[in-house]
Chains A and B, each alone.
Chain A
């Protein structure tokens, strides 16, 4: 098998299955098979899905720096799938909040999105990821041309909004959001650095 086929028929399915694991664990924990969701399962479900949404944004943003550093260009072939998993977890996080936490009480939902800044931020990040996921096919990429790349720089914005959303959500102990902020800072900082050094060489 050549490399392309190996990626397509072995590595992609393996990565896909791994990416689904956190969601599967939420389901099996909910039925007390693998573990438990604790005293407040609704909160636990939202927290886990939100955390994985953020992690997958970071993982997708790590593809380009890792590719440049390792020279392993095949990594690029996983970027779309990882980005779509970020959208998948953020969407599930939103749906868990909408259905399990808010119980589809629309007045409360709209009030929260409009009046609670941290929820506004999270919702904005979801909209950006939705637009990116909706235009993620090869066909859309061809049709949109340069505008596609511009839209997909939205990943940086979604990452910033996501960390900010988490930061404002926690009560006082900012240790966890701080870790995400540092990771995001490194990932975005690498791009700034790469651009600056490129310009200097040119």
Chain B
């Protein structure tokens, strides 16, 4: 399907030749690998929008919002991905040489089906869905992003967690040679995040592998990242290499760095201010220079799907 197709393609949307070639190499490698090429969803026909492979057989989802998506340019050039630098434009500038494939994901902890999986094998059993979600950053700005992803609940069930698995922990690749931002200790690398098993199996939670119908661009967390749209953006860990089923609440990077400012839950909540700024309103990226901020919604407007997860929990204390 086509979504938010622009009238024309701007030069900035066309990937560098090097990147394009790398993609072709990846596809060629996939074809050479035989069987994988036929079934792996990431190997569709090349449509140079971001220059990435067009993802085939993407289903629509009832969870998608009908709000206008933020432009491809804005979604891919205004990012918090400190592995590639701490400024918003850094990930777009410094991730151009990052080659996300081949990629392996380790699944460990309290589950029956653990091990190290090749990216293609990891996502092969699942359907791809387009989820057009609101994304609310803790810094009081927001976007509407057409992700392509896999239900995290399906992935969790597939790996058969045991009754001891009360939380799911995630870890980003730690490789300062490929991720220049990790050469500075601005955070305790690798980036880590976590969800309760109930959150991880909520139907809204996905692992995204695509954006705007194509493979996920590097600044957005290629090749695979978490999307939990009722939480602040920093929960959406990028470049995931490890998924662990654990018994205790796992550490999360911003909570370690500044526990008074960033909690484990990090649910979008207009009534609980960040200590240094209000969370009552948000600036929608692309809304224009003179547009006012808009009110922030509880759970980013996804209360119907997730509010029941937090019954009896004091959200002022558990921010």
What residues on A are CB-neighbors of B278 within 8 Å? 108, 111-112, 116
Binds A, one of B41-49, B125-133, B206-214, B285-293: B285-293
A contact residues vs B (CB 8 Å cutoff): 30, 37-43, 100-103, 105, 108, 111-112, 115-118, 168-169, 171-173, 175
| Per-residue interface assignment for chain B, residues 277 to 312, with 1 indicating a CB less than 8 Å from any chain A CB and 0 otherwise | 110110101100110110000000000000000000
CA distance A40 to B78 in the complex (A): 8
Choice from A39, A116, A118 contacting B78 with Cβ under 8 Å: A39
Closest to B74 in A: A39
Closest to B139 in A: A171
Given contacts A117-B276, A173-B82, 17 further A-B contacts (CB under 8 A): A38-B77, A39-B74, A39-B77, A39-B88, A39-B285, A40-B88, A40-B141, A43-B283, A101-B283, A105-B292, A112-B277, A115-B273, A169-B276, A171-B139, A172-B86, A172-B257, A173-B184
B285/A108 in contact, CB under 8 A: no
What residues on B are CB-neighbors of A117 within 8 Å? 276
Instruction: Given A40-B283, A41-B289, A42-B289, verify A116-B74 contact (CB < 8 Å).
Output: no
What residues on B are CB-neighbors of A112 within 8 Å? 277-278
Closest to A107 in B: B280
| Per-residue interface assignment for chain B, residues 187 to 229, with 1 indicating a CB less than 8 Å from any chain A CB and 0 otherwise | 1000000000000000000000000000000000000000000
Nearest CB of chain B from residue A178's CB, rounded to whole Å: 12
> Most chain-B Cβ atoms within 10 A of its Cβ — which of A37, A40, A111, A112?
A40
What residues on A are CB-neighbors of B38 within 8 Å? none
Instruction: Given A39-B285, A172-B257, verify A116-B293 contact (CB < 8 Å).
Output: no
Instruction: Given A100-B289, A103-B293, verify A38-B276 contact (CB < 8 Å).
Output: no
Nearest CB of chain B from residue A33's CB, rounded to whole Å: 14
Instruction: Given A40-B88, A40-B285, A100-B290, verify A118-B280 contact (CB < 8 Å).
Output: no
